[in-house]
Amino acid sequence: MIMKPGKLQVKSLSLYIPIESVVKEITQLGFSEVASATVITDAKFWIKRVFKKNQEYISVSDEIGDADYLRDPIVTIYGKQKTVKALRKLE
Amino acid sequence: MPIYECTENQFIENLRKMIDTNFKIIVKRSIKIHADIKHNISRVPDCEFNKYNRIMRRSKQRANVYSVKPFYDEFHNRFYIDDFKVHSARYSRMITLSIPYFKVEYSFDIWGETYAYNFDVLFNPAVKIERRNIKPITLKGKNKSKSVLLHVLSFKPPRLETLQIELPQSVLIFDVNQKIKS
């Protein structure tokens, strides 16, 4: 599907990379953190951080607590195509 | 009518696929405050419990929790003395300190099936020293209340951005109280 570059779209990514790398990329894109909270879903505890840049939003959910399996931060984007593209490169 | 529970990633991606095919979608959203024992001080992971460690201690997750200082829980209107069992691992339904939270439910229906994503967002604790009037309990009957400095635990609601999922304007979001199963 052809998208207008300036049109805001939704996309969710499950990234098998450290949270620090994800946050670094988001910050470099010009986003700043506006809120964070402890979230419980799927019987797991997560820290959800919300980043904002003008009309664009990115939320990063990172699992916390004891777990011996590989964790994957969940990145949900409501943003421009170039923001989605930049974060998809991390996949 | 089957209801499929999704993770955040699954829910958003399912929704995105529908948006990409120009489907008109109505997303139902329910946000409700709860203060039951579902989320209590003993169950939270260590990094969350550390927010309380000025006034409470525990040996590990899901163990007994004790006060380390006298404190007043402003949300539940309860005063705890020093070294008091705040949470009992054995009687967790009766002796506990519950953490208030928002229960958030997002769902949409297609072809008679419901796809839902549910999550709870905890209130943020704040511990500060404040002057409070407390009434000492003695066997001698009536006592005048005393103004003392003590630790006060309060809970602040999370910011709205953490409860909401930002979606394109083509998606209609209806706020609902609860779904009644037919």
Query: What's A46's domain CATH number?
Result: 3.30.200
User: Confidence band (pLDDT; 50, 70, 90) for B136?
Assistant: low
In a domain, residue A3? The reply is: no
pLDDT at A8: 93
- Enumerate the residues of chain B whose CB falls inside 8 A of the CB of residue A11: 12-13, 16
Which two structure tokens, joined as six digits, stand for A13? 């990514």
Residue A2 forms part of a structural domain: no
In a domain, A1, yes or no: no
Is A35 within 8 Å of B124 (Cβ atoms)?
no
Which domains occur in chain B, in start order? 1-35+100-121+161-182 (3.30.720.90), 52-98+124-157 (no CATH)
Q: Which of A81, A42, A77 is nearest to A60 (CA)?
A: A77
* Sign of the four-CA dihedral A50, A15, B119, B87: negative
pTM above 0.95, yes or no: no
Nearest alpha-carbon partner for A47 in B44, B98, B126, B57? B44
Q: What is the ipTM of this complex?
A: 0.91
Q: What is the pLDDT of residue B137?
A: 60
Residue A83, beta-bridge partner list: none
Give the pLDDT score at A69.
Answer: 72
How many domains is chain A built from?
1
| pLDDT greater than 80 at residue A67 | no
Chain A residue numbers with beta carbons less than 8 Å from the beta carbon of B161 are 34-35, 50, 52, 57, 59
pLDDT one-digit tens code per residue, A8-42: 999 999 998 889 999 999 999 999 999 999 999 98
CB contact under 8 A, B61 and A66: yes
Which whole-number Å values give the CA distances from B86 to A67, B63, B95, in the listed order? 26, 11, 7
Residue A68's domain comprises 9-88
Amino acid in the structure at residue B60 = K
